[in-house]
Amino acid sequence: MSIRATHLHCHVDIARPVRLGPGFSLYMPQSGSFVVEPGVDFRSNFRCDIEGDGKVEIGAGTVFTSNTLIQCSTLVSIGKRCAFGQSTLIVDGYHRYQDHERHWAEQGYDLRPIHIGDGAGISDNCTIQADVGERAMVASGSVVNRPIPPYCLAVGAPARVVRYFGPPERREEVLAATRRRRRNRSRPATGEQAL
Ligand SMILES: CC(C)(COP(=O)(O)OP(=O)(O)OC[C@H]1O[C@@H](n2cnc3c(N)ncnc32)[C@H](O)[C@@H]1OP(=O)(O)O)[C@@H](O)C(=O)NCCC(=O)NCCS
């Protein structure tokens, strides 16, 4: 297996052993970085688009089953021994759209780095737009648009924490932070127009 560089300004560092399964591809037209630790399994159809000087880091022993797409303009950092079910999208931003005088494509992006902690499990058909804590589990078909704390099961679109299974001494701290976030979300943002 050889890796052909088609653009010499980007940085690709894939430690061995690694499996680059069929359909593995990178799109890095500028000065992005793609750094992979040993033992990562890109089983099939893994695709990563890195714009500008974005950086994607993948920890040792992580597994991507099939049809993962990562779109990164800032940082996507994935820990060790994570697993991603089929058809996962990980994206660190989206188009701004609320200026009615300009097409959304001309309004730029809201971007935020994404961190996925060691041992996180992402089930099939999930969209990840925010951090996922260490050993957290995200159920099939979930859309993570707010951070998921460590050792929690999150389900649905948008993903909500429904269970904590971590060390008992951290339970209150984690669940209190989750409740705080929920309360803050239910307050309307300043200047937001109610319908
Ligand atoms: C994450 C998962 C393993 C959790 O299973 P579990 O621990 O048995 O969870 P439960 O079935 O007890 O569900 C807990 C709650 O979350 C809900 N829930 C579970 N999965 C859900 C989903 N995908 N979407 C929405 N809600 C879900 C359940 O209805 C339940 O809610 P309730 O308490 O109100 O009834 C499982 O939901 C899942 O997604 N499995 C798919 C694994 C996968 O993708 N494998 C292939 C890739 S390797």
Contact predicate 145/181, CB 8 Å: no
Q: Which residues line ligand 1 (CB under 6 A)?
A: 65, 83, 85, 123-124, 137, 139-141, 153, 155-156, 162
Ligand 1, from 44, 126, 162: best to mutate by most atoms within 8 Å of Cβ?
162
Ligand 1, from 81, 123, 142, 148: best to mutate by most atoms within 8 Å of Cβ?
123
Which range is least confidently modeled, 20-34, 58-72, 166-180? Answer: 166-180
State residue 3's pLDDT score.
61
Distance (angstroms) between ligand 1 centre and the Cα of 122 equals: 11
State residue 44's pLDDT score.
98
Residue 195 lies in a domain: no
Contact predicate 74/111, CB 8 Å: yes
Count of Cβ atoms closer than 10 Å to residue 70 Cβ: 25
Amino acid at 14: I
Coil, helix or strand at residue 42: strand
Q: Which residue has the higher pLDDT, 194 or 121?
A: 121
Biggest alpha carbon–alpha carbon distance for the chain: 56
Residue 76 lies in a domain: yes
Nearest residue (CA) to ligand 1, atom 17 = 155
Among candidates 134, 116, 8, which has minimal Cα distance to 56? 116
Of all atoms in ligand 1, which is nearest to the CA of residue 83?
A: 48
Give the span between the Cα atoms of 35 and 78, in whole angstroms: 10
Residue 192 lies in a domain: no
Predicted TM-score (pTM) above 0.75: yes
Which residue(s) pair with 25 in the sheet?
Answer: 47
Beta strands in 60-150 (DSSP E): 63-72, 75-78, 83-84, 89-91, 93-95, 109-111, 114-116, 121-122, 127-128, 137-138, 143-144
Residue 63 lies in a domain: yes
Residue 4 lies in a domain: no
Per the structure, how many domains does the chain have? 1
Residue that the structure tokens 């705080």 belong to: 180
Name the residue range of residue 144's domain. Answer: 11-185
Sign of the four-CA dihedral 21, 2, 81, 7: negative
Contact predicate 20/36, CB 8 Å: no
Q: Which residue has the higher pLDDT, 4 or 7?
A: 7
Residue 5 lies in a domain: no
Binned at pLDDT 50, 70 and 90, residue 174 comes out as confident
Q: pLDDT of 113-132, one tens digit each?
A: 999 999 999 999 999 999 99
Residue 16 lies in a domain: yes
State residue 180's pLDDT score.
84
What CATH number should be reported for the domain holding residue 22? 2.160.10.10
Residue 191 lies in a domain: no
Give the span between the Cα atoms of 56 and 7, in whole angstroms: 17
